[in-house]
Amino acid sequence: MDLYTEGDPIADTRAPDGPVETRWDRHRFEMKLVNPANRRKLTVIVVGTGLAGGSAAATLAEQGYHVKSYCYQDSPRRAHSIAAQGGINAAKNYRNDGDSVHRLFYDTVKGGDFRSRESNVHRLAEVSVNIIDQCVAQGVPFAREYGGLLDTRSFGGAQVQRTFYARGQTGQQLLLGAYQALERQIGLGNVEMNARHEMLELVVVDGRARGIVVRDMVTGEISTEMADAVVLASGGYGNVFYLSTNAKGCNVTASWRAHRKGAYFANPCYTQIHPTCIPVSGDHQSKLTLMSESLRNDGRVWVPKAKGDDRGPRDIPEDERDYYLERIYPSFGNLVPRDIASRAAKNVCDEGRGVGPTGLGVYLDFADAIDRLGRKAIEAKYGNLFEMYERITGEDPYEVPMRIYPAVHYTMGGLWVDYDLQSTVPGLFVIGEANFSDHGANRLGASALMQGLADGYFVLPSTLANYLAANPMEKVDASHPEAVAARTDVEDRITRLLAINGDRTVDSFHRELGQIMWEHCGMERSDAGLRKAIAEIRALREQFWQRVRVPGDGEGLNQSLEKAGRVADFFELAELMCVDALHREESCGGHFRAEYQTPDGEAQRDDDRFAYVAAWEYTGTGEPVLHKEDLTFEYVHPSQRSYK
């Protein structure tokens, strides 16, 4: 293939060896420490204030570092972690149902379709129990049993009940816990908070990340902020599809700018399509709304057995319904992992058995659960989700089954990091959804919150200290030539976007890019489709730089300008995603290639050829360089995933 070249493999991930359950402890002991008196002389930049960034900034400040925190929202409390509904996994085994750190580790590696690192995942499972303790101590109001102890529920891809939750607003409550810890540090003067600021460039000096260029979105002022290390916690890139469950502002710019400055981008094609979202209603659609996976605990997914059956759902008798997840996957039933549930929904819709006005929908039916448990119990568990559904669709899900369809939700890919969460640019650390590290090719439900907080509260604060202690650095200021050059790049780019003054809006380009990606790099990919997509993306990108119209100027609040910069970066990322998807000639997790499936339509991995992380290097010439990091499995042996 002519779309990329292959470079040296990645030899060292800094993962310790020895028994997997001792690695993190031993590594922590071996790492260097920064003495408390020296911490206050060190400045750390943290970009993003979600679960990962908020918890990291608060923790680093508690430890005594000088922290500068940035977010594009008007308040750190609004980062998109706030929208996570269902819950957070932890291997507490409070249910005595056979859970353990090893089982969470095992489920996560298997759920990720054997495309993640064992060392990282085991650490995640170990730390999960500390997260719950930490959040309870902060006053996070988790759901509780009558005896006053914490309640848990089950989630997709697991046969134990290890998911802690706060009604349907777990992300909100966890984020507010981290936000409040962060605000405490802001109040104490340990964190300098910069809301409504957007990172537009990374500053690399002598091969190390030493700062960022930011734009104050209110005044338009561009400034260069220097530090001893930079932490990106800027989230995922699902909005490359235009329609996704991400917030409208979520973007790849911070990650992409770092990628262009030398940070490898790993597994960009691994995107998670969430099976339970409210279907698209029309061309005006600006985003998609998730209905929590927890609904699959009690809701049953079905479509009519017959094609084109246009009777109302309540008029279709029981024996003419196909509860296809229960039929195909009897042991996990409606709780199969997300990638499997999404593809199954696509398959039945492709067969012409989809429901609703567009035919792109399946039923999620609570009638049995309401009969069994009573309406009140269902209200207590899911009341807010049912209300949200009714507000958006105008239909009452207590009476009529919900209609759902898959939508882009999460990106497992992200900037490549080693075991220390450090990217290929020394001093640039990447945490939370922005990195690629723990979920392999598919993330299990309720594991994003776990990973974000594990990285921010527990992992990064240790590994960052090791970096700072091992690499004493001279101070550099914003007048350094590299810093000046980065700033000039930012200014030039803004000037260029404003000068085009064409005849199409930013959103119209973004929407069209999203359609290309959904069509060819969505739930199912193929060689021909991906090649077509790459050609279309290139053509559209060229049009963008000739025809986009960005009104106003760079001097003050200009939401069109913000969007234009982000969409420009999405164009470049989109191409890399397609190249990655094209080169991975296998199906795994969220990456399903039509050519590689088992006779019964399940994902067909090719461990001999593809048991590696694909880390892409930006070269500037358009042809990325592939670096492979081989994955070895000592504890969880790769097998064909079966949820039957």
Partner 1 sequence: MNLTLRIWRQTGPEDKGRMVTYPVPDVSPDMSFLEMLDVLNERLILDGEEPVAFDHDCREGICGACSLMINGEAHGPQRGTTACQLHMRQFSDGDTIDIEPWRARAFPVIKDLVVNRNAFDKIIAAGGYVTAPTGSAPEAHSTPVPKDDADAAFSSAACIGCGACVAACPNGSGMLFTAAKVTQLSLLPQGQPERYTRVIGMVDAHDEAGFGGCTNIGECTSACPKGIPLNTIGRLNRDYLKATTKRAGTPGS
> Pick from 445, 486, 117: which is nearest to 267 by CA?
117
CA 320 to CA 309: how far, in whole Å?
10
Rounded to the nearest 10 degrees, the angle between the axes of helix 559-583 and helix 481-500 is 100
Q: Is-contact 340 598, C-beta < 8 A?
A: no
Q: Which is nearer to partner 1, 164 or 264 (CB)?
A: 164
What backbone torsions phi and psi does residue 321 show, to the nearest 5 degrees?
Answer: -105, 150
Point out which span in 15-23, 172-180, 370-378, 429-437 binds partner 1 (CB under 8 A): 172-180
Residue 389 CB, shortest distance to partner 1, in Å, is 11
Q: Which is nearer to partner 1, 191 or 614 (CB)?
A: 191
- Angle 192-195-199 from CA coordinates, rounded to 5°: 95
Q: Is-contact 604 597, C-beta < 8 A?
A: yes
Query: Which residue in the set 207, 551, 601, 622 belongs to the binding site for partner 1 (CB under 8 A)?
Result: 551
Question: What 3-state class would DSSP assign to 266?
Answer: strand
Point out which span in 115-123, 176-184, 346-354, 437-445 binds partner 1 (CB under 8 A): 176-184
Query: Which residue in the set 103, 167, 584, 605 belongs to the binding site for partner 1 (CB under 8 A)?
Result: 167
Query: 478-507: which residues touch partner 1 (CB under 8 A)?
Result: 503, 505, 507
Query: 531-550: which residues touch partner 1 (CB under 8 A)?
Result: 549
- Angle 425-591-541 from CA coordinates, rounded to 5°: 65
> Pick from 309, 207, 270: which is nearest to 523 by CA?
270
Give the active site residue among 103, 208, 296, 338.
338
Helix (H) or strand (E) run with residue 193 in it: strand 191-194
Tell me the two tokens of residue 643. 């949820």
One-letter identity of residue 328: I
Query: Which residue in the set 69, 89, 120, 172 belongs to the binding site for partner 1 (CB under 8 A)?
Result: 172
Query: Which residue in the set 4, 70, 142, 596 belongs to the binding site for partner 1 (CB under 8 A)?
Result: 142
Total residues interacting with partner 1, rule: CB under 8 A: 80
Query: 398-437: which residues touch partner 1 (CB under 8 A)?
Result: none
Query: 552-611: which residues touch partner 1 (CB under 8 A)?
Result: 552, 556-557, 559-560
Residue 642 CB, shortest distance to partner 1, in Å, is 34
CA 454 to CA 51: how far, in whole Å?
9
Q: Which is nearer to partner 1, 22 or 501 (CB)?
A: 501
Q: Which is nearer to partner 1, 556 or 601 (CB)?
A: 556
By the 10 Å C-beta count (0-12 exposed, 13-18 middle, 19+ buried), 360 is classed as middle
Q: Which is nearer to partner 1, 133 or 634 (CB)?
A: 133
Tell me the two tokens of residue 45. 């930049």
Q: Which is nearer to partner 1, 503 or 630 (CB)?
A: 503
> Pick from 430, 603, 590, 432: which is nearest to 522 by CA?
590
Question: What 3-state class would DSSP assign to 46?
Answer: strand
Residue 276 CB, shortest distance to partner 1, in Å, is 14
> Pick from 39, 48, 54, 24: which is nearest to 415 by CA?
48
Q: Does 137 bind partner 1 (CB under 8 A)?
A: yes
- The answer for 95, left when phi > 0, alpha when psi is -120 to 50, beta otherwise, is alpha
CA 136 to CA 115: how far, in whole Å?
32
Query: Which residue in the set 410, 458, 596, 610 belongs to the binding site for partner 1 (CB under 8 A)?
Result: 458
Q: Does 166 bind partner 1 (CB under 8 A)?
A: yes
Q: Which is nearer to partner 1, 130 or 161 (CB)?
A: 130
Query: Which residue in the set 18, 19, 139, 374 belongs to the binding site for partner 1 (CB under 8 A)?
Result: 139
By the 10 Å C-beta count (0-12 exposed, 13-18 middle, 19+ buried), 12 is classed as exposed
Query: 188-207: which residues touch partner 1 (CB under 8 A)?
Result: 193, 195
- The answer for 77, left when phi > 0, alpha when psi is -120 to 50, beta otherwise, is alpha
Query: Which residue in the set 1, 218, 377, 470 belongs to the binding site for partner 1 (CB under 8 A)?
Result: 218
Query: 366-395: which residues touch partner 1 (CB under 8 A)?
Result: 387-388, 391-392, 394
Residue 292 CB, shortest distance to partner 1, in Å, is 11
Residue 22 CB, shortest distance to partner 1, in Å, is 20
Residue 177 CB, shortest distance to partner 1, in Å, is 8
- Angle 502-505-508 from CA coordinates, rounded to 5°: 130
Q: Does 133 bind partner 1 (CB under 8 A)?
A: yes
Q: Is-contact 327 353, C-beta < 8 A?
A: no
Q: Quick count: other Cβ atoms within 10 Å of Cβ 18?
A: 10
Query: 53-82: which residues touch partner 1 (CB under 8 A)?
Result: 55, 58-59, 62, 73-78, 80, 82
Residue 147 CB, shortest distance to partner 1, in Å, is 6
CA 5 to CA 162: how far, in whole Å?
43
Residue 286 CB, shortest distance to partner 1, in Å, is 5
Query: Which residue in the set 5, 22, 281, 546 belongs to the binding site for partner 1 (CB under 8 A)?
Result: 281
Q: Which is nearer to partner 1, 515 or 526 (CB)?
A: 515
Query: Which residue in the set 141, 207, 352, 374 belongs to the binding site for partner 1 (CB under 8 A)?
Result: 141
**Which residues 6+ apart lie within 8 Å of 620 measured at CB?**
260
Q: What is the DSSP letter of 282?
A: S
- Torsion sign across C-alpha atoms 354, 358, 364, 365: negative
Verify whether residue 493 is a known catalytic residue.
no
Q: What is the DSSP letter of 455?
A: I
Query: 94-123: which residues touch partner 1 (CB under 8 A)?
Result: 94
Q: Does 136 bind partner 1 (CB under 8 A)?
A: yes
Residue 203 CB, shortest distance to partner 1, in Å, is 27
Q: Does 127 bind partner 1 (CB under 8 A)?
A: no
Q: Which is nearer to partner 1, 138 or 597 (CB)?
A: 138
Query: 249-278: which residues touch partner 1 (CB under 8 A)?
Result: 249
Q: Which is nearer to partner 1, 152 or 342 (CB)?
A: 152
**Which residues 6+ apart lie within 8 Å of 336 measured at CB?**
156, 157, 325, 329, 344, 643
Q: Quick count: other Cβ atoms within 10 Å of Cβ 425?
A: 21
Q: Does 150 bind partner 1 (CB under 8 A)?
A: yes
Point out which span in 95-103, 127-135, 315-323, 609-617 binds partner 1 (CB under 8 A): 127-135
What backbone torsions phi and psi does residue 189 show, to the nearest 5 degrees?
Answer: 85, 10
Q: Which is nearer to partner 1, 507 or 607 (CB)?
A: 507
Query: Which residue in the set 324, 436, 457, 544 belongs to the binding site for partner 1 (CB under 8 A)?
Result: 457
| Residues tagged active-site | 338
